[in-house]
Amino acid sequence: MKKKNQTLGEFIIENQESFQYSSGELSRLINSIRLAAKVVNHEVNKAGLVDITGSAGEENIQGEQQQKLDVYANETFIQTLINREIVCGIASEENDNYITIQGQNEKHNNKYVVLMDPLDGSSNIDVNVSVGTIFSIYRRVTPEGAPVEMEDFLQPGNQQVAAGYIIYGTSTMLVYTTGCGVNGFTLNPAIGTYYLSHPNMQFPENGNIYSINEGNYVHFPQGVKDYIKYCQAEEGERPYTSRYIGSLVSDFHRNMIKGGIYMYPKSSKANNGKLRLLYECNPMAFIAEQAGGKASDGFQRILDIQPSELHERAPFFCGSKNMVEKAEEFMQATEAKLTTKVAK
């Protein structure tokens, strides 16, 4: 039974037996992420008081301007995971390539790899909008004892053993799953402890919020345009409410609690969408499905996509199950019309 006021540490110990690989390593890994998140949270809360906001003057592998807090968060999570010697490899949205980690005696005996977006929504830092960290955990597929290889990271999302996010907002929350439901923990900053505040989180099957950057409307596929018009129509429970923060963690978190759909489709400006499959789509899709929601690229389940490269992008439709399925209907109807037109 999940009890409120239970600490994250107590929860991990009490529930580690329900995890199929309960050797204690995954529990220590989650604890390491918890520690790094507290350090990053401290810096995020100082933004505006110290010289931590603004551009770092460099671009990441995606060609995006790195913010100072991007760099800080990336280094903090990487060093915390390396120092604890519980992972054999790390891949970050901010790094060109993956990192191989040796344990004691230069061995590579650890079982897990971590993929992460260390600071999602970092372009919002300067205007004091909530940002977050997203993480994804897999068991390595190459033999233990040898350095990790690319195939350890290029696994479909259905092979994840855990995933989660930290949202640095009016309160700081860590939300995660190990495949046994989704639970949220809120940080008490006075004592530095996370407490179970949102047990067994669930997406409502239906919602009335749609989250998409409508400024890109003219660049969207016709199916997305049709779905947006459907959301705005004066029928039944509609029109829906448009809410878009521009920080995936924040939009996803709100929609999971209130019911809604988040969309970042492909467009004429970004043929594969903007979100990274490994660092953003897969972990959020795993969480969504564990919370009774759904995640798709508009045509297929996100978690069944076989990645082909480390920084691959994918269209993303995620949220309340019935809303995602309705969006898929519009996408597939448009595709069917195009196929028929070409055939003629």
At 105-153, the pLDDT tens digits run: 666 678 899 999 999 988 777 777 889 999 999 999 999 888 999 999 9
Whether the predicted pLDDT of 24 surpasses 50: yes
Instruction: Look at residues 281, 127, 138, 259 and name the one whose alpha carbon lies nearest to residue 205.
Output: 259
Q: What is the pLDDT of residue 12?
A: 86
173 neighbors 184 (Cβ within 8 angstroms) = yes
**For 209-343, CATH number?**
3.40.190.80
234-259 average pLDDT score: 95
Q: What is the pLDDT of residue 121?
A: 87
121 is in an annotated binding site: yes
8-198 and 209-343 agree in CATH topology: no
| CA–CA distance, 132 with 155 (Å, rounded to integer) | 24
Residues 6+ apart with CB under 8 A from 223: 298, 327, 330, 331, 332, 333, 334, 335
304 is in an annotated binding site: no
Cβ neighbours of residue 307 closer than 8 Å, sequence gap 6 or more: 153, 154, 155, 156, 277, 278
The answer to whether the annotation marks 46 as part of a ligand binding site is no
* pLDDT in the model for residue 148: 94
- The whole-chain average pLDDT of the chain stands at 89
Looking at residue 234, its pLDDT comes to: 94
In the DSSP assignment, the letter for residue 23 is S
Token pair listed for 250 = 């924040």
Place of tokens 């129509």: 233
Q: In this structure, what DSSP letter does residue 102 have?
A: -
Residue 244 is labelled as binding a ligand: yes
pLDDT tens-digit map of 73-117: 999 999 999 988 889 999 999 999 999 998 656 666 788 999 999
- Our measurement of the distance from residue 3's CA atom to the centroid of its chain's CA atoms, rounded to an integer in Å, reads 26
Mean pLDDT of 308-324: 98
Which pLDDT belongs to residue 251? 97
How do beta strands 209-211 and 241-242 pair? parallel
Q: What does DSSP say about strands 193-198 and 209-211: parallel, antiparallel, or unpaired? A: unpaired
| Dihedral (CA of 219, 225, 231, 234) sign | positive
Q: Give the distance, in angstroms, between the CA of residue 322 and the centroid of all CA atoms in the same chain.
A: 21
Is there a contact between 341 and 222 (Cβ–Cβ < 8 Å)?
Answer: no
- Supply 143's token pair: 């033999």
Cis peptide before 147 (omega within 30 of 0): no
Residue 223 annotated as binding site: no
Residues 174/185, Cβ–Cβ less than 8 Å? yes
What is the tens place of the pLDDT at every residue in 273-308? 999 999 999 999 999 999 999 999 999 999 999 999
**pTM for this structure?**
0.92
Mean pLDDT of 213-237: 96
User: CATH assignment of 8-198?
Assistant: 3.30.540.10
> Does residue 135 contact residue 283 with C-beta atoms inside 8 Å?
yes
Residue 119 marked as a ligand binder: yes
Q: What ranges do the domains of the chain cover? A: 8-198, 209-343
Identify the sign of the CA torsion 82, 29, 112, 294. negative
Q: Quote the percentage of the chain above a pLDDT of 90.
A: 71
Mean pLDDT of 218-233: 97
pLDDT digits (tens, 9 = 90+) for 26-81: 888 999 999 999 999 988 887 654 445 545 445 555 655 567 888 899 999 999 99
Known binding residue 132? Answer is: no
- Tell me whether residue 213 is annotated as binding: yes
pLDDT at 42 (0 to 100)? 87
